[in-house]
Amino acid sequence: MLKIPVNRRPNIFYGWWIVLLAVFLNIYQGGILFYGFTLLITPMREEMNWSYTAISSVYLFMGAIHMIVAPALGYSFDKIGPRPLMAGGIFLMGLGLLLLGFTQTLWGFYFTFILANLGASGMWNATGAAVPNWFIQKRGRALGTQSLGYALAGIMTVPFLFFIDSYGWRTAVMVAGIVTWFLIIPATAIVRKRPEDYGLWPDGIKPSKTPEDSNEITEINIGVRDAVQTQAFWFLALGFSMGFLAISAIQVYETPFMQSVGYSRRAAALLLTVIPLSTIFGRLGFGYLADYWDKQKAAAIALFLQSIAVIILAFFDSSRVWLIPIFLIFWGLGFGGTVVLRPALQGDLFGRKSFGTIQGVLSTTGEIGFMFAPVVAGITFDVLGSFQPVFIAFAILTLTAAPIVLTIRKPRPNLGEP
Question: What's the pLDDT tens digit per position in 32-73?
Answer: 887 777 788 778 888 888 877 788 777 777 777 777 777 777
Lowest mean pLDDT among 76-80, 99-103, 105-109: 76-80
Q: Which residue has the higher pLDDT, 7 or 294?
A: 294
Which residue, among 164, 130, 165, has the nearest Cα to 146 in the 3D structure? 130
pLDDT at 333 over 60: yes
**What integer is the mean pLDDT of 286-292?**
78
Structural domains of the chain, ranges and CATH numbers in brackets: 11-205+220-406 (1.20.1250.20)
pLDDT value of position 97: 92
**What integer is the mean pLDDT of 241-247?**
81
pLDDT at 216 over 60: no
Share of the chain above pLDDT 70, in %: 91
For residue 12, give the DSSP letter.
P
Nearby residues of 320 by Cβ (< 8 Å), 6 or more positions away: none
pLDDT at 165 over 90: no
Which residue, among 136, 148, 121, 179, has the nearest Cα to 19 in the 3D structure? 148
Nearby residues of 14 by Cβ (< 8 Å), 6 or more positions away: 134, 192, 195, 198, 200, 204
In DSSP terms, 3 is beta-bridged to 218
Question: What's the whole-number average pLDDT of the chain?
Answer: 79
pLDDT at 254 over 80: no
- 43: amino acid identity, one letter: P
Backbone φ and ψ of 217, nearest 5°: -110, 140
Q: At 1, is the pLDDT very low, low, confident or very high (cuts 50, 70, 90)?
A: very low
Q: At 354, is the pLDDT very low, low, confident or very high (cuts 50, 70, 90)?
A: confident
pLDDT value of position 219: 62
pLDDT value of position 137: 76
**What integer is the mean pLDDT of 193-217?**
63
pLDDT value of position 212: 47
Q: At 413, is the pLDDT very low, low, confident or very high (cuts 50, 70, 90)?
A: low
What proportions of the chain, in percent to the nearest 5, are helix, strand and coil?
Answer: 75, 0, 20
Q: Positive or negative CA dihedral for 40, 46, 52, 54?
A: negative
pLDDT value of position 209: 53
pLDDT value of position 3: 44
